[in-house]
Structure 1
Amino acid sequence: MPAPLSFTDLTLEWPDGTVALDHLTGTFPEGRTGLVGDNGSGKSTLLRLLAGLLAPTHGTVTRGGAVGHLPQTLTLGRDATLADLLGITPVLRALQAIESGDADPRHFDVVGDDWDIPARAAATLDEIGLPGAGLERRVGEVSGGEAMLVATAGLRLRGFPITLFDEPTNNLDRSARARLRELVRTWKGTLVVVSHDVALLDEMDATAELRGGTLTTYGGPYGAWRAHVAAQQEAATQALRNAEQAVRVERRQRQEAETKLAHRARDAKKARANKVAAKIVMNGRASMAENSAAKLRAGHDARLEAARAHAAAAADRVRSDDHVSLVLPDPDVPNSRRLAVLRSASGAREHVVQGPERVVVTGPNGVGKSRLLHQLVTGSAPVEGHASGRLETHRVGFLPQRLDSLDDDLSAVDNIRAVAPAADPGTVRNQLGRLLLRGDSVFRPVRTLSGGERFRVSLARLLLAEPPHQLLVLDEPTNNLDVSTVTHLVEALAAYGGGLVVVSHDDDFVRRLAPTRILGLDAEGELTEVEL
C-alpha cells in the first residue's frame, strides 16, 4: 500500500538562487510523525511544499488526499471570526442560504455531509476550553494561544486525511498544551508535526529528522529517537577512536619500516665500499633490495590509506552540529539600579525589577501578558482592569512574540543596519555568523528565513545595540527555536548582566533559566509571586 504522503527528488530554489531543499526524497506514513531538525534545515519549507503552498523547482509530491496546514503564524485579521479560524465559514453560509430557501446546487456541494457542522463546531470549542464562545466571536477577542488552538481544532473538525502542523504549541499555556496533546492522541489519518515541544513530540508514533538535506525516519517517539541517536553516537565515537588509533599504528609501522629500509641501505652501501662480494652479486642484491623495499612501502602505504579511509568514514557518522554562540553584551547594571516597575490592575501590588534580576511572567492564555509587555515597553496609558508597567531606564531591548519589528523585504544585514547604522559591517557579519546565519543567507530577504532564523536576526539587533541594553523584555522567546538553540539561549540569558522580563509558557525553559522571581498574572490583572 503506497504511503499517504511522499515526495521524490524535491528541490526548491529561491528567486535569488539560494537552494532551500536539494533533491529530497521521502515518505510520511499513516499515523503521527514528528518532524525535527535544526532551525534552517528546511522543515517549514518542506511542509509548505507538501501542502501545495509552494511549487517545487524540481521533483514531485504525491498526496493520498486533501491536505490541511497549520502555519507557524496565523495571518487572519482581528475582525475575523472563530468560524473563519475553524475554516467552516463557507459551510455556515451555504447552510444559511439553504435554510432561507435558496436551492442553488452549489450550496449543497459546499455543505456536503456537514449538515451538523454548527453543533460539532460548538462541541469542538467546548473541548478546547472555549465553551459558549460563539462562532461569531472575533479573533481579536481571544489570545494568540487560544487562536492557535482553535485553528488546530478546526483542522481536525474538517477531517483532512493529511494534516501538517508547524509549531502548534507556540503561545499555548500549560493547560492549552495539554488539550492539544489530547487532540493529537486521537487524531485520525496522517499527521506530520514540526515542533520543539518535547512533550508533544513524545505523543508521536514516529520521528523523522531533516538533516543535511536527507530525511531519516525512526519508528518511535522523540524520546526513543533521542536515545537511539545517543546510542548510535556513542558507538560512532568509539569507532572513530578505534579508527584513529589504527591510523596511528599504521603510521608508526610505516615509520619503523622506513627506518629498517634506511638501515639496510646503509649496510649495503658499506658492503659495496668494502667490496665484500663480487660486483655482479652486489648488483643483484641491490636490485632485490630495491624491489623488496618498494613492495614493503606499497604494503604499508595501502594499509595506511585504508586506515585513513576507515577513520574518515567513522568521522562522517559522528555528528558535528554547529551551535549558536550567544554572548550578550555586559550593560554593567549595579544591583541597586531600578529598571522597571510592574503593577497589578488594582494597584495593590508593585513589583520592582532591580539590577540583574530575571523575572518571568506567567499565566493562562488571554489574561494580558503580551499586552503588559507591550504597554511597559511603549509607555502607553494603562488600561483599566489590566496589569501595567513603567520603565525606569531608556536602554531597553524588546523581542515581541510576532517578530514584526523586522522588515520582511530587507536582508538580515540591512535589518540590523537600520537600528545600528554605525556598526562595522564585519562586526555585523561576525555576530550573525555566531548565530549560524552565514554565507548568502544574510543577504536574503528575511521573509525567506525560517521562524528560528528570523528570531536570530531579531536577537542580533539586540546584541548590537550601543550602548548595551540594561533591560531585555522577551515575549515567548522559545517560539520556533530548535531544542539545541533553546539550550544556548538559556545559557546566554543566565549569564546576562542586565535585567530580564520574560513571558513564557515553556516550563522547561523557565526551569532552566532559574528566574529570580516568577509573577503569575490572573484574569483580574493581579500580579503575585508564584512557584513554577
Structure 2
Amino acid sequence: MFPAFAWCSVSTFKKEIMIILQNLTYIHSNKDLLFDNIHLAVNDNEKIALIGNNGSGKSTLIKIMAGIVQPSAGLVNSSSKPYYVPQIFGQFNEHTIAQALQIEDKLNALSEILSGNVSESNFATLNDDWTIEERSYAALAHWGHQGLDLKQRMNTLSGGQKTKVFLAGILIHQPDIILMDEPSNHLDLSGRALLYNFIQSCESTLVVISHDRKLLNMLDIVVELSSKGLSVYGGSYDFYKEQKLSERQALDHDLKSKEKELRKAKEIEREALERQQRTDARGKKKQEKAGLPRISMNTLKNKAENSTAKVKGVHAEKTGMLSQELNDLRKELPEADKIKFGFDNSSLHKGKILCSVKEINHSYDQNLLWKERLSFQITSGERLVVKGLNGKGKTTLIKIILGEIKPLIGTIYKADCKTVYIDQEYSIIDNDFSVYEQAQTFNSTSLQEHEVKIRLNRFLFTKDDWDKSCSVLSGGEKMRLMLCCLTISSQVPDIIVLDEPTNNLDIQNVEIMTAAINEYEGTLIVISHDEYFLEQVGVEREIELI
C-alpha cells in the first residue's frame, strides 16, 4: 500500500521561500495598461489571497509569478519553480493527463528502463524518481480519480475532473510554492472538502485567486489588486471586509463633509453676489441723483461689473475645486454601491404551489439517475438548493421542473408561471445583440429609449457601452446586463433558477448578484456548491440527489 501523503511537507533545514515582484508593469498587446509598478514580497509558508475586480489583472499577475507570461517591465524572482493550477484548461485539451502534469518524460524513461533500455539519458530523465507512476496514480486516487489512465486525454474530462488532475499534481511534485487560479470553481462538495483540507494543512507558500469566501477565510493575508496597485491586508477575508468597511465609512464621512463644504461655499458665493448687487444698485441710485455725466456713469458701471465678475471668479474657483474633489471621492465608491435595483414584486403571491413532483426518476443510458424516486413541492417565495455530486443529474432535475423534458417515471405538475433559467454562461444574453439591443428585447412595456438607457446606466453601462457587442462582455458584465433586463421587464419571473451563479464572477459581482437576489421576492432555485452564497441569499431547504 502506498503511504499516506503529507501535504507539502518541508524539510527541517529548508531555506526561506520568497517570491519578489519589483516594479512590475504589464501592457496588453493593444497598448492598454493593465497594471503598473507593482511591488510584492511573499514569504515562506504564507497563504495569500489575491483578490480584485474582473479585469484588474489577477490572472495575468499570477501567470507572471508562475513564469508563464512575461511582464512588460520589472523583475520577478522566486526561490524555486512555482506549481500553477490554472482556471482555464482549453490549452490542455489535446494533452494526455501525464503531459498536462509534466510527468510524461519521466514515465517514458521509467518504461524504457524497465524494458531493458538502460541508457544514460533515460536515467538522467528519471532522476531516481522510481515511484513516479505509483505516486501519480495514488495522487489521482486521493482526489477521487481511481482508475484514471495517465494516457487519457484531458478533453475527455469535465471541468471538475481537470481541476482535480492539477491538484493531484501538487502531491506528485511536492512544490515549495503553489499558485492557484479559482481552484474551487468546478469542484463539487466532496472536491471542495478535499481542497479546504489541503489549504488548511499545507505548509508550502500559497497564492490563491478565488471568490470562494469560505476558502478565502482559510488564508492568512489578503492582497487586493486595483487601479491603485496592490494593497496588503494582514488577516483573513473577514478581516479584510472589516477593513474595507472602515475605509468605506471614512469615505462616506469625507463625501458628506465635502458635500457640506460645497453647499456652504455655494451659499457664501450667493450671499456675496447678492451683497455686491445691492452695493451696485445703491451706487447706481446715488449716481443718478447726483446727475453725473453719461461718460462717468459708464465708467462707474464698468467698475461695478468688474467687481461683480471678480467676486464671481473668486467663488467659482473655490466651488469648482470643491466640485472636482467631490467627483474624485465619488469615483472611489465601490461599483456595487452605484447600482440601483427596482424589481416590481407586486404580482408575486407567497405560498402558491408552483410545482408538485411525485415519484419521479429519469434515465439516459438505461440506468436510473437517482437511487430513490423524488417527491417534493415548490411554493411561491421559497428558496431552495439542489445538491449532489457531479453527474448526479442536477441539471436534468432542473429541466424536468422547467418542463423542458418529461421524467421517465412519475408525474409532475407545474403551474402557469414565468420562469427564468440563468446558467453559468448567461445564455439568456444574445451575443449577436448590442448591449442596448439586448435591453430592448425585455422592454415589453415600450419604455422610451432614454428610459431604457437610464436603466442601463444604473447597472454601470454608460454611453460608451450601449453599442458594444454582448459577445465581448465578461461574465460579470453579462450578469449585470441580465439583472438590468429583468428590471426592465414588466413581469418579474415567478421562479428564478441559478445554475452555479458564482462561477466566473469576482467578489464584487457576486455581491451585486447577492444584493439583487435578496431584493427579489419570488421563488429561487439554486444549483451551487458555494455555501457562503447560499447562506447570504437565505436558502431555506435543499433537495439532495444521491
Q: TM-score, normalised by structure 2?
A: 0.69
Tell me what 1:71 maps to: 86
SS at match of 1:477: coil
Give the Cα–Cα distance (whole angstroms) in 2 for the partners of residues 374 and 85 of structure 1: 35
2:217 paired with 1:202? yes
Seen in structure 2, the aligned counterparts of structure 1 residues 329 and 86 have a Cα distance that, compared at 3 Å, is farther
Letter in 2 for 1:34: A
- Out of 239, 261, 266, the residue aligned to residue 224 of structure 1 is 239
- In 2, are the aligned partners of 1:68 and 1:164 still within 8 Å (CA)? yes
Seen in structure 2, the aligned counterparts of structure 1 residues 313 and 169 have a Cα distance that, compared at 3 Å, is same
User: Per-residue deviation at 1:506?
Assistant: 1.5
Letter in 2 for 1:519: I
2:76 paired with 1:62? yes
SS at match of 2:106: helix
User: Per-residue deviation at 1:188?
Assistant: 5.9
Q: How many residues get paired?
A: 503
2:39 paired with 1:27? yes
Give the Cα–Cα distance (whole angstroms) in 2 for the partners of residues 140 and 341 of structure 1: 38
What per-residue deviation string (whole Å, max 9, x for no partner) do you get for residues 3-50 of structure 1? 534563311156xx9x4x445331342233322223344433544565
Letter in 2 for 1:32: K
User: Per-residue deviation at 1:368?
Assistant: 4.5
SS at match of 1:102: coil
Tell me what 1:529 maps to: none
2:173 paired with 1:158? yes
Give the Cα–Cα distance (whole angstroms) in 2 for the partners of residues 396 and 289 of structure 1: 70
- Where in structure 2 are the equivalents of 1:476-491 lying within 5 Å? 476-491=500-515
- Out of 379, 396, 405, the residue aligned to residue 379 of structure 1 is 405
Give the Cα–Cα distance (whole angstroms) in 2 for the partners of residues 504 and 266 of structure 1: 74
- Out of 2, 5, 9, the residue aligned to residue 25 of structure 2 is 9
2:109 paired with 1:94? yes
SS at match of 1:479: coil
What per-residue deviation string (whole Å, max 9, x for no partner) do you get for residues 340-363 of structure 1? 667363555422445565431124
- In 2, are the aligned partners of 1:41 and 1:213 still within 8 Å (CA)? no
- In 2, are the aligned partners of 1:358 and 1:501 still within 8 Å (CA)? yes
- Where in structure 2 are the equivalents of 1:335-354 lying within 5 Å? 335-338=352-355, 343=360, 345-353=370-378
User: Per-residue deviation at 1:95?
Assistant: 2.1
Seen in structure 2, the aligned counterparts of structure 1 residues 165 and 441 have a Cα distance that, compared at 3 Å, is farther
User: Per-residue deviation at 1:406?
Assistant: 9.2
User: Per-residue deviation at 1:169?
Assistant: 1.4
Give the Cα–Cα distance (whole angstroms) in 1 for the partners of residues 93 and 406 of structure 2: 20
Seen in structure 2, the aligned counterparts of structure 1 residues 104 and 388 have a Cα distance that, compared at 3 Å, is farther
User: Per-residue deviation at 1:162?
Assistant: 5.0
Question: How many percent identity over aligned positions?
Answer: 27
Q: Which moved more, 1:140-149 or 1:482-491?
A: 140-149
Tell me what 1:250 maps to: 265
User: Per-residue deviation at 1:134?
Assistant: 5.7
Give the Cα–Cα distance (whole angstroms) in 1 for the partners of residues 55 and 122 of structure 2: 43
What per-residue deviation string (whole Å, max 9, x for no partner) do you get for residues 48-83 of structure 1? 565566677x55663535454333344489998765
Give the Cα–Cα distance (whole angstroms) in 2 for the partners of residues 513 and 218 of structure 1: 27
- In 2, are the aligned partners of 1:82 and 1:150 still within 8 Å (CA)? yes
Tell me what 1:474 maps to: 498
- In 1, are the aligned partners of 2:62 and 2:179 still within 8 Å (CA)? yes
Give the Cα–Cα distance (whole angstroms) in 1 for the partners of residues 319 and 26 of structure 2: 40
Q: Which moved more, 1:130-139 or 1:502-511?
A: 130-139
User: Per-residue deviation at 1:163?
Assistant: 4.0
- Out of 356, 372, 387, the residue aligned to residue 362 of structure 1 is 387
User: Per-residue deviation at 1:520?
Assistant: 1.9
Letter in 1 for 2:215: L
Seen in structure 2, the aligned counterparts of structure 1 residues 9 and 294 have a Cα distance that, compared at 3 Å, is same
SS at match of 1:27: strand
What per-residue deviation string (whole Å, max 9, x for no partner) do you get for residues 141-191 of structure 1? 987545424423424643456543222112334453343233234556654
Q: TM-score, normalised by structure 1?
A: 0.71
- In 2, are the aligned partners of 1:342 and 1:352 still within 8 Å (CA)? no
Seen in structure 2, the aligned counterparts of structure 1 residues 35 and 431 have a Cα distance that, compared at 3 Å, is farther
Give the Cα–Cα distance (whole angstroms) in 1 for the partners of residues 50 and 433 of structure 2: 26
SS at match of 1:29: strand
Give the Cα–Cα distance (whole angstroms) in 2 for the partners of residues 219 and 181 of structure 1: 20
Give the Cα–Cα distance (whole angstroms) in 2 for the partners of residues 54 and 474 of structure 1: 35
- Out of 452, 472, 482, the residue aligned to residue 476 of structure 2 is 452
SS at match of 1:4: strand
Give the Cα–Cα distance (whole angstroms) in 2 for the partners of residues 304 and 333 of structure 1: 48
Letter in 1 for 2:28: L
Q: Which moved more, 1:22-31 or 1:429-438?
A: 429-438
RMSD between aligned residues: 5.4
Give the Cα–Cα distance (whole angstroms) in 2 for the partners of residues 436 and 393 of structure 1: 36
SS at match of 1:502: strand
Give the Cα–Cα distance (whole angstroms) in 2 for the partners of residues 314 and 327 of structure 1: 26
2:132 paired with 1:117? yes
Seen in structure 2, the aligned counterparts of structure 1 residues 371 and 207 have a Cα distance that, compared at 3 Å, is same
SS at match of 2:118: coil
Give the Cα–Cα distance (whole angstroms) in 2 for the partners of residues 105 and 48 of structure 1: 35
SS at match of 2:384: strand
Seen in structure 2, the aligned counterparts of structure 1 residues 381 and 514 have a Cα distance that, compared at 3 Å, is same
- Where in structure 2 are the equivalents of 1:243-322 lying within 5 Å? 243-269=258-284, 272=287, 303-304=318-319, 307-308=322-323, 310-319=325-334, 321=336
Give the Cα–Cα distance (whole angstroms) in 2 for the partners of residues 209 and 321 of structure 1: 17
Tell me what 2:529 maps to: 505
Give the Cα–Cα distance (whole angstroms) in 2 for the partners of residues 100 and 332 of structure 1: 74
- In 2, are the aligned partners of 1:85 and 1:147 still within 8 Å (CA)? no
- In 1, are the aligned partners of 2:384 and 2:526 still within 8 Å (CA)? yes
- In 1, are the aligned partners of 2:426 and 2:482 still within 8 Å (CA)? no
SS at match of 1:101: coil
User: Per-residue deviation at 1:248?
Assistant: 2.7
SS at match of 1:193: strand
Give the Cα–Cα distance (whole angstroms) in 1 for the partners of residues 306 and 486 of structure 2: 69
Give the Cα–Cα distance (whole angstroms) in 2 for the partners of residues 471 and 301 of structure 1: 54
User: Per-residue deviation at 1:399?
Assistant: 4.0
Seen in structure 2, the aligned counterparts of structure 1 residues 274 and 296 have a Cα distance that, compared at 3 Å, is same
SS at match of 2:76: strand
SS at match of 1:216: strand
SS at match of 2:28: strand
Give the Cα–Cα distance (whole angstroms) in 1 for the partners of residues 315 and 487 of structure 2: 54
Seen in structure 2, the aligned counterparts of structure 1 residues 166 and 451 have a Cα distance that, compared at 3 Å, is farther
What per-residue deviation string (whole Å, max 9, x for no partner) do you get for residues 299-350 of structure 1? 6566555545554554455445466667779897883443766736355542
Seen in structure 2, the aligned counterparts of structure 1 residues 112 and 397 have a Cα distance that, compared at 3 Å, is farther
- In 1, are the aligned partners of 2:429 and 2:478 still within 8 Å (CA)? no
Q: Which moved more, 1:149-158 or 1:338-347?
A: 338-347
Letter in 2 for 1:360: V
Give the Cα–Cα distance (whole angstroms) in 1 for the partners of residues 158 and 22 of structure 2: 35
Give the Cα–Cα distance (whole angstroms) in 2 for the partners of residues 264 and 468 of structure 1: 61
